Structure 1
């Protein structure tokens, strides 16, 4: 069960998390979860390049370990990377110490101040532990004194949903996206049929409306 548009209640319950950016500029923040994956992530990179778009990739540490060349490529092409845990752990069902260690394993590879909890599910106790670890410089980050930013979204396309048609995925995305939206796609094999259809059409639609696509 998921909602394409993040509800106000969730934003109220987790006020310290980033759900969207300023609505005053015609900018969209595309994000991709679960890569890097052969064929899929390179498709995303090529499509972004076709539209002169930049994005943020929330990477699974184990996939970085398996596919370091693709991870290197997305950074070299000017995209941002974020931590998505090493093994795609669901915070609600994971003991805090285990979650923190899994975050750390991915952080060693990403060295970023951006984090997205898999499934968008994280305990407040886990948020505090991770933020404290970053502020105490226990984990490496690219920028000195960087504050951890836990990034959620206000639009999730549903590209992972096998019951959703590619056209429905595309319609989900364009219906709910507006200025400052943080939009979630997935560079995963499961999502590829819908991603391959929806992403270039999404980029074309909003490019024609004068939007830019930037990293977080």
Structure 2
């Protein structure tokens, strides 16, 4: 079953996690997971620039190391770089201490691009997977960020038109939206992102980084 919109009970059960941001302004928080990836991340940056939109990029550490110039483009364009582990590991399959090493390794890669004084301490777990033990340790240092809206752009069985149709009627102030600057998501990303930006701006929304 796909949950395009996160059930409200999750924010009640885990109030310290960011599922959305409380605001009276018409602001959306667009986030991208898994990059930076050549061509794909650059496409995202170009689309965001057309609307003066800011976003948060939850980066995989090994992709940061492979593509530092693209990561620097993200940073210098005024977006936020954040942590998505070094090798996109799953918490349900990784012991807590090993998982934290993955997180710290990614943070080290982030700090080489984004000066430590400005470095974001935001973290999103790959696949949205956490255990209570992982969460407790992470919250000692990081702000864990989930989402209110998941586009499923990574699902290659989902036609791009349906991906967009499931999202466009659900925009709400303070929503945290997830997309992916990855090869797997590229087809749906290239279809949905321009439409999302144009539609949201036409409704009076702006886009800010977390």
TM above 0.5, yes or no, is: yes
How would you bin the TM-score normalised by the shorter chain?
over 0.9
- d(CA) in 1 for partners of 2:175 and 2:138? 25
RMSD over aligned Cα atoms = 1.1
Residues 125-144 of structure 1: pairs in structure 2 closer than 5 A? 125-132=133-140, 134=141
Residues 120-159 of structure 1: pairs in structure 2 closer than 5 A? 120-132=128-140, 134=141, 148-159=142-153
Matched, 1:209 2:203: yes
Matched, 1:103 2:103: yes
Report the secondary structure of 2:139's partner residue. helix
Report the secondary structure of 1:56's partner residue. strand
Moved over 6 A (4+): none
Count of matched residue pairs: 202
Cα displacement string for residues 14-34 of structure 1 (whole angstroms, at most 9, x for unaligned residues) = 221000011411000000000
1:113 corresponds in structure 2 to 121
2:86 corresponds in structure 1 to 86
When normalised by structure 1's length, the TM-score is 0.90
Q: Which runs of 5+ in 1 are unaligned?
A: 135-147
Asked if the contact 1:177/1:183 (under 8 Å) is kept, the reply is no
Cα displacement string for residues 152-189 of structure 1 (whole angstroms, at most 9, x for unaligned residues) = 00000010011111111111221222111000000000
Report the secondary structure of 1:176's partner residue. coil
2:77 corresponds in structure 1 to 77
When normalised by structure 2's length, the TM-score is 0.93
Asked if the contact 2:138/2:144 (under 8 Å) is kept, the reply is no
Report the secondary structure of 2:199's partner residue. helix
1:19 corresponds in structure 2 to 19
